[in-house]
Amino acid sequence: MLAEFRYEVEDPEPESPTAESRYLLPPSAVIALPPPAIAAGPPPPEAIIKKGKKVLALYPQTSTFYEADVVEGPGRGREYTDNFW
C-alpha cells in the first residue's frame, strides 16, 4: 500500500496557547499562493479575476483568508473589492 502524501502546515497564530499549531493536510486541502515577487508584478490580462468570482481573500488587518465574492475588479491601486461571507 502506498503512503498517502500530506503537507505539514503550521498556524502562526493558534487560537490559544494549548491549541494545535501544526497540521497534516492532504493536497486537496491546501491552496498554494504565488511567491511575493510574482504577486507584486502587473498581472497578465488572463489573471484578472472577474466580478462575481468566489475567492479566498485576506480579511483587512489580519493574516487570515476568508471566502469572498469579487464585487469590483482592481483599480489603479490594483486592489479588489470583496464581500466576505
Share of the chain above pLDDT 70, in %: 66
Give this prediction's pTM: 0.49
Q: Which CATH number fits domain 51-85: 1.10.3290.10, 2.30.30.140, 1.10.357.10, 2.40.50.140?
A: 2.30.30.140
DSSP 22-33: EEEE-GGG----
Most distant pair of Cα atoms in the chain: their distance: 53
Contact 52, 70 (CB under 8 A): yes
Q: What is the mean pLDDT of the chain?
A: 75
**Domain locations in the chain as residue ranges:** 51-85
Grid coordinates 502506498 are at which residue? 2
Which tens digits make up the pLDDT trace of 41-64? 666 776 777 888 888 888 778 878
pLDDT of residue 8: 92
